[in-house]
Amino acid sequence: MLEKIENLKNDALAKIKIASSEEELKNIELEYFGRKAGKIGEILKAIPTLEPKERGAVGKNANIAKKDVEAGIAARYFEIEEEKYASLATSEKIDVTEPAINKIEKGKRHPLSKFMLECEEVFGKLGFEVAEGYEIEDDFHNFEALNFTPDHPAREMQDTFFIENEELKGYVLRTQTSDMQIRFMEENKPPYRIIAPGKVYRKDSDATHSPMFHQIECLMIDKNVSLANLRFILLSALRELIDPNVDLRFRLSYFPFVEPGLEVDALLKVDGKETWLEIGGAGMVHENVLKNVNIDPKKWNGFAFGFGIERMVMIKYGVKDLRSFFENDLRFLKQF
């Protein structure tokens, strides 16, 4: 009997040692300790049927075996648990630095929006704040206050879209961001430096014109502002935005809201060759404009300039057809 107990115990311990899962261990537990046919329980139950002198030793050994097997099972449970966590550390390891398998394509800004944001940043460093307005504009802000008299021929120059709606009679789709000069000056006391990027509209459509395009207006009003200030600001900004070697040239021109009025050309490398390209209009703010917004032209003066964003981006990246910006062909847009 004692030998039987010893074998039972050794068998059990051997099985426990190689058990590789909690389930196998549970089965071993049942085999030896199950309420119905547990092998150790059977022996304990059989003690009363033994010879009295045998009972003591059998009972003692059976209890030792029971404890050893129980302890063995408990220890193995613990080991299996440990192994499970240890393997989790390798099987479920996540490398957070690894690139995603399904690459999600990130959206990007449209080249025009991107350039306008760059303008805001560059002019911001030069002390200019951003002013925003409306694309549907009244005659006063788009023309009249900018010194376009009602019969001024320059109104015709701008191929205006007039809004044909009784309620919005007299409104236009703004033809220039210069309306923002008026809107900002009406609301604020000088001195100030602002830029106003935005959409403008003109009846025009070909490889270099679109009925909707973008401009950026720049206005500085202070005391004793000069054309040299204008040149410095514009040149500094363009050197950072377009090309560090850009140079500028001014030609006399005419815009009703500036005096003198200037056409600005930039010297740029195009296909390896230095070329003067017209980039926008500029000038010293006309005193009539200042008077229209109740600013005393004896105390204050300033400059304004405006240029087309599409044209700038075309120059910067060598884009040949302006319409590419609005076709939204990803093959084009992805290049920026």
Query: Which residues contribute to the site for ligand PHE (CB under 6 A)?
Result: 176, 178, 255, 258, 281-283, 304-306
Give whichever of 72 and 283 is closer to ligand PHE, judged by the CB atom: 283
Task: Give me the amino acid identity at 294.
Answer: N
Least Å distance, CB 182 to ligand PHE, is 12
Least Å distance, CB 306 to ligand PHE, is 3
Give whichever of 58 and 279 is closer to ligand PHE, judged by the CB atom: 279
Least Å distance, CB 311 to ligand PHE, is 11
Least Å distance, CB 331 to ligand PHE, is 31
Phi, psi of 176 (to 5 degrees): -160, 150
Give whichever of 78 and 162 is closer to ligand PHE, judged by the CB atom: 162
Backbone region of residue 145 per phi and psi (left: phi > 0; alpha: psi in -120 to 50; beta: other values): alpha
Give whichever of 77 and 231 is closer to ligand PHE, judged by the CB atom: 231
Give whichever of 72 and 306 is closer to ligand PHE, judged by the CB atom: 306
DSSP E strands in the chain: the ranges are: 129-130, 136-138, 171-173, 192-201, 212-222, 247-253, 258-270, 273-285, 301-308
| Neighbouring C-beta atoms of residue 126, cutoff 10 Å | 16
The residues facing 261 across adjacent strands are: 253, 283
Least Å distance, CB 158 to ligand PHE, is 7
Query: Is the distance from CB of 220 to CB of 303 less than 8 angstroms?
Result: yes
